[in-house]
């Protein structure tokens, strides 16, 4: 019986691989930016060069957990919840210096954070403004005061349970989130216009 050559084995392996025929859908918010928002921003601010049009660069989601000093298990649940919400494994943040008043030692885990870019960033933004924020109790829009003077915006949420990915029955403690939207805008007005065009519900 003839032995199989390495080349023949590779061909058989390649033939047996499953190839997906499903078309990859472009994230809704990125499509909105490309087809509508970018043009509206160029019209509103009269940019001479299309490259001046502000765009969303990244989203940083941070969960500070001061209670983890006394209960380290909170970090484990926070990691799983953050992974469920963002679709990406978070990194654990640690204390940079010791603070005796809070019984905090250097290097102790005190939070988790994720930096989202490209498709995951757009998908998270879509879920946040379309599903998450409308689930906030007595929601009347987000504050327009969270800009830093350079077109970046930070939003604070008191509860992680606004995201449908969180299993309410498995929650050990209510955790807050800080979400930062980093843009290429030069001013707060440009940053606000960009996020508004993408569907961020700012209060009037």
Residue 95: predicted pLDDT: 64
Secondary structure of 185-201 in HEC code, one letter for each residue: CCCHHHHHHHHHHCCCC
Among candidates 135, 132, 112, which has minimal Cα distance to 124? 132
Closest C-alpha to 162, from 139, 183, 196, 193: 139
The H-or-E segment that residue 126 falls in is helix 118-127
The three-point CA angle 125-172-128 to 5° equals 10
pTM over cut 0.85: no
Pairing of strands 153-157, 109-116: unpaired
Closest of 183, 181, 153, 180 to residue 52, by C-alpha: 183
Give residue-wise pLDDT tens across range 26-40. 788 888 988 888 889
Does pLDDT of 109 surpass 80? no
**Tens of pLDDT, residues 143-198:** 888 888 888 998 888 877 777 777 766 777 777 788 899 999 888 899 999 999 88
Q: Is there a contact between 151 and 185 (Cβ–Cβ < 8 Å)?
A: yes
pLDDT at position 130 is 86
Who contacts 78 (Cβ-Cβ below 8 Å, separation ≥6)? 63, 65, 68, 90, 111, 112, 175
Alpha helices in 2-106 (DSSP H): 6-16, 28-32, 38-45, 73-86
Residue 147: other Cβ atoms inside 10 A: 20
Encoded tokens for 31: 């499509």
The 8-class DSSP code of residue 145 comes to T
Distance of alpha carbon 15 from alpha carbon 8, whole angstroms: 11
pLDDT at 134: 81
């Amino acid at each position: 019986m003839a032995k199989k050559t390495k080349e023949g084995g590779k061909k058989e392996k390649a033939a047996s691989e499953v190839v997906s025929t499903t078309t990859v859908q472009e994230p809704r918010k990125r499509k909105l930016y490309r087809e509508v928002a970018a043009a509206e921003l160029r019209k509103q601010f009269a940019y001479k060069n299309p490259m001046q049009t502000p765009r969303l660069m990244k989203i940083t989601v941070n969960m500070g957990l001061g209670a983890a000093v006394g209960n380290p298990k909170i970090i484990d649940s926070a990691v799983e919840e953050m992974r469920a919400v963002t679709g990406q494994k978070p990194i654990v943040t640690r204390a940079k210096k010791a603070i005796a008043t809070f019984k905090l030692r250097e290097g102790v885990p005190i939070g988790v954070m994720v930096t989202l870019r490209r498709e995951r960033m757009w998908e998270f933004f879509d879920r946040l403004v379309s599903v998450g924020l409308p689930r906030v109790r007595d929601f009347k829009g987000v504050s327009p005061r969270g800009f830093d003077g350079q077109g970046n915006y930070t939003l604070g949420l008191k509860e992680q349970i606004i995201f449908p990915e969180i299993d309410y029955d498995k929650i050990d403690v209510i955790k807050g989130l800080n979400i930062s939207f980093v843009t290429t805008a030069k001013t707060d007005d440009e940053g606000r216009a960009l996020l508004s065009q993408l569907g961020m519900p700012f209060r009037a």
